Amino acid sequence: MKRPYLPSRSVRRSQPHLRVAIFWLLLTSATHVLLSRSPAAAAPRPNIVVLVSDDAGYADFSFQGSRQIATPHLDAIRQGGVLCQAGYVTAS
């Protein structure tokens, strides 16, 4: 008959400390979340959207002058945003 696994005394003794540490971690996290929601600290932040496309050329979008493929949603994003036209990469 096999004996049931019982952790060593040092492991059993350390578990209450682990419970206390988890309790304090949750308490401080909740306090931080509640205090960071104050209206004075809520400054408007800009929305940043980075679009990454594989195998798309410079002129494949209608906001760049393409007449073959209509991209109305990208056109709307372009109208309200910034267009970076000087991006350089190395060939791999």
- Alpha-carbon dihedral sign for residues 19, 22, 28, 32: negative
pLDDT digits (tens, 9 = 90+) for 79-88: 888 887 787 7
Q: Which pTM was predicted?
A: 0.41
The structural domain count of the chain equals: 2
- Answer yes or no: is 1 within a domain: no
Question: Looking at the structure, do residues 62 and 79 belong to the same domain, yes or no?
Answer: yes
Q: In the chain, pLDDT over 90 holds for what percent of residues?
A: 1
Is a pLDDT exceeding 60 seen at residue 11?
no
The reply to whether 36 and 18 lie within a common domain is: yes
Whether 17 is covered by a domain: the verdict is yes
Q: Is residue 71 part of a domain?
A: yes
Is 92 within a domain? Answer: no
CA–CA distance, 55 with 53 (Å, rounded to integer): 7
* Whole-number pLDDT of residue 8: 65
Domain that residue 16 falls in:
9-41
Residue 16 reports pLDDT greater than 80: no
29 and 57 inside one domain = no
